[in-house]
Amino acid sequence: MTEQSGQSPALDNLSTESRVFPPDPAFTGAANVREGAYAEAEADREAFWAEQARRLTWDAEWSQVLDWSGAPFAKWFVGGKLNVAVNCVDRHVEAGNGDRVAIHWVGEPGDTRDITYAQLKVEVSKTANALASLGLVAGDRVAIQMPMVPEAIFSMLACARLGLVHSVVFGGFSAAALRSRIDDAEARVLITTDGQYRRGAPAPMKDGTDEATAHTPSIEKVVVVRRTGSDVQWTEGRDVWWHDLVDGQPEEHTPESFDAEHPLFILYTSGTTGKPKGIQHTSGGYLTQAAYTHHAVFDLKPETDVYWCTADIGWITGHTYIVYGPLANGATQVVYEGTPNTPHEGRHWEIIQQHRVSIYYTAPTLIRTFMKWGADIPEKYDLSSLRVLGSVGEPINPEAWVWYREHIGRGTAPIVDTWWQTETGAIMISPLPGVTKTKPGSAQRALPGISAKVVDDNGVEVAHGGGGYLVLDKPWPSMLRGIWGDPERFRDTYWSRYAEQGFYFAGDGAKYDADGDIWLLGRVDDVMNVSGHRISTTEVESALVSHPTVAEAAVVGAADETTGQGIVAFVILRGTAKADDSTVKVLRDHVAAEIGPIAKPRQVLVVNELPKTRSGKIMRRLLRDVAENREVGDTTTLADSTVMDLISSGLKDSA
Ligand code: WTA
């Protein structure tokens, strides 16, 4: 176990926060879920999840709800068969809802596409036929690196339809990051675009994927969607335009049924070592929990609501709450391609006004950005359609929560602060709108059918008012089924810390308040959370030391007002390298090129020494004190206790 990561500054006032917002009785009367659901699920967890699984259309009934005999490798709905894409698309058309809009797509430059469920069925079927024509068969891996264009969603659903395992790689990740993910999963096909719109201008996309695929032996074909019309390099025989491949395909595709445990996707996420983990999710359990939580937590009424989740499909939030959950529930949703301030800072509110969005799900970092831009901006728009607001990705500080409720939710819309992870697949801890008395800054309570506890080092549950580590003590349907190609790492990372008790260790600090509600306190391992994105300190350190001027590097996540944490790097340069601004810029750019712009350090500080314990472990806690301008803490375990004085005085001199 490593030392406690710094908490978000915003969390400092958590201990004093005591405001409570009871639900509006009118909302409660019509809410999808009642208070009784908790007790009902508690009485028979498996029966509860079996009931939720019936939200889906199965081709064969399961014989067993949960097989936990191979723990920690779970099997849910054993023997059940279904097709995930049929559940997300075809069945809504068959139920007579083909004319309902599935996706109001809004492009950054202002172009739009409204796609009904009937049209989505055609698009997904054509894409499935196209992928099958490339010789892909169930179980093969397909990498997807795309901006938020409809074809990205068609591609994911076409994979699901064929039993192909997609691995979506966030569009902002570098060529090197894409390459390592393609290699790890041995993907046969990559789907991408020529370019992407970013802050009002076309930016390249295929240049990066070309760089990645120059070295990936497993890639046979690269399918390219034309989005920006920019010039691209072309590799004959390997590259194929989407419109050449897909447009002429038949509009019908006969789906096959797959086992409930058939792999649906791999999604890479940062762990405590440099190598990202390929988190594996399967079909039946994942879709069950995605659909149930989307219905329960957002109080979705598919006939009348317009839902909008602002995540990118490159993250788990985009997978579960743009693609699988909402579409399984037959929702109408907005999908927006661009940045929130293009062409102006009111873009989100303009979209909400135009589409009468009623459920809006975003991240605290963006809410804090909106606060900075000013409340006068949302005030110019009609946001009266909004009735549920969601937050995800990091702890939300009470100020941001209250601002969100006041300025976006007109002081009435319930806020659901949803805690979950790439690994959990779907929401685990959250208030329920209309049911829970909400508290700014607290995710509060495990959902019906889910069990979470705050425990101490020995795995003993702490008392109300106490703090410790968050664990999940009962298996859940959408739980990860492993790390791609690395079962040992799966056991080590999540199950070894509380092996005796059989708890899943989430890696988050948490506490109970006096009522027993859960407050999340940030990561306790070497994973940083920057704007809701997980980045490991080791990943950034290894990017830094891969640069010829760097001898050693230590990276910490320091509290940051807007992004939650900011990346601060301490580097020791080699021999003759100069500690000047240009070196710092080169190193920041180098990290962006190695991992992606989201990993670019906020600060690079050149030092002569790093604080290490006698066993050679870098004491990040002390560096964090420096990065956050605090008095440096206890240095007694340092091998050389004068190091911190040297670092602090060196930094003062150069400031
Ligand atoms: C953090 C994102 C506090 C947490 C869905 C977790 C949160 C990590 C919350 C997972 C929340 C996510 N309150 N912390 N509501 N939601 N986190 O895998 O540290 O990108 O372990 O999944 O984000 O990040 P991931």
Q: How far is the CA of 347 from the centre of ligand 1 (A)?
A: 26
User: Would you say the C-alpha torsion 283, 285, 290, 295 has a positive or negative sign?
Assistant: positive
Q: How far is the CA of 446 from the centre of ligand 1 (A)?
A: 14
* Digit-coded pLDDT (tens) for 151-208: 999 999 999 999 999 999 999 999 999 999 999 999 999 999 999 998 889 999 999 9
- Cα 607 from Cα 88, distance rounded (Å): 54
* C-beta 365 within 6 A of ligand 1: no
Q: How far is the CA of 203 from the centre of ligand 1 (A)?
A: 29
Q: How far is the CA of 267 from the centre of ligand 1 (A)?
A: 15
Q: Is 114 helix (H, G, I), strand (E, B) or coil?
A: strand
Q: Are 298 and 361 in contact (CB under 8 A)?
A: yes
Residue 120 Cα distances to 86, 137, 628, angstroms? 11, 22, 49
* C-beta 393 within 6 A of ligand 1: yes
* C-beta 392 within 6 A of ligand 1: yes
Q: Would the annotation count 545 as a binding residue?
A: yes
Q: Are 149 and 136 in contact (CB under 8 A)?
A: no
Asked if residue 72 has a cis previous peptide bond (ω within 30° of 0), the answer is: yes
Q: How far is the CA of 4 from the centre of ligand 1 (A)?
A: 16
Half-sphere exposure of 608 (CA within 13 A, CB side): 12
Section 337-357 average pLDDT? 97
Choosing from 5, 294, 361, 534 the residue with most ligand 1 atoms within 8 A of its CB, the one to mutate for a pocket test is 534
Looking at the DSSP bridge assignments, the partners of residue 361 are 309, 390
pLDDT at 254: 98
Which token pair is 132?
């099958």
What count of other Cβ atoms lies within 10 Å of the Cβ of residue 515? 13
- Cα 453 from Cα 462, distance rounded (Å): 8
Q: Would the annotation count 32 as a binding residue?
A: no
pLDDT at 13: 46
* C-beta 430 within 6 A of ligand 1: no
What H or E segment, with its residue span, contains residue 402? Answer: helix 398-403
Tell which atom from ligand 1 comes closest to the C-alpha of 522. 19
Residue 178 Cα distances to 33, 318, 538, angstroms? 41, 18, 18
DSSP 442-472: --BSBPTT--EEEE-TTSPBPPTT-EEEEEE
pLDDT at 611: 87
pLDDT at 578: 85
Q: How far is the CA of 392 from the centre of ligand 1 (A)?
A: 7
Q: How far is the CA of 211 from the centre of ligand 1 (A)?
A: 31
Section 316-328 average pLDDT? 98
Tell which atom from ligand 1 comes closest to the C-alpha of 429. 15
228-236: long-range contacts, CB 8 A cutoff, minimum separation 24: 228/193, 228/194, 228/195, 228/196, 228/197, 228/202, 228/203, 229/194, 229/195, 229/202, 230/194, 230/195, 230/202, 230/204, 232/194, 232/195, 232/206, 232/207, 233/206, 233/207, 235/210
Q: Is 29 helix (H, G, I), strand (E, B) or coil?
A: helix
Please state the pTM of the whole predicted model: 0.91
Tell which atom from ligand 1 comes closest to the C-alpha of 423. 18
- Cα 605 from Cα 214, distance rounded (Å): 34
Is the per-residue pLDDT at 587 higher than 70? yes
Is the per-residue pLDDT at 6 higher than 80? no
Section 301-306 average pLDDT? 98
Q: Are 388 and 414 in contact (CB under 8 A)?
A: yes
In percent, how much of the chain has pLDDT > 90?
Answer: 83
Higher pLDDT, 8 or 341: 341
* Digit-coded pLDDT (tens) for 57-81: 999 999 999 999 999 999 999 999 9
Q: Does the complex come out with an ipTM higher than 0.95? A: yes
Q: Are 15 and 538 in contact (CB under 8 A)?
A: no
* C-beta 318 within 6 A of ligand 1: no
**Residue for token pair 């806020």:** 415
CA nearest neighbour of 353 among 329, 384, 388: 384
Q: Would the annotation count 568 as a binding residue?
A: no
What's the pLDDT band for 620 if we cut at 50, 70, 90? confident
Which token pair is 603?
């600060």
**Average pLDDT taken over every residue of the chain:** 93
pLDDT at 14: 55
* C-beta 394 within 6 A of ligand 1: yes
Is the per-residue pLDDT at 650 higher than 70? no
CA nearest neighbour of 427 among 437, 439, 438, 419: 419
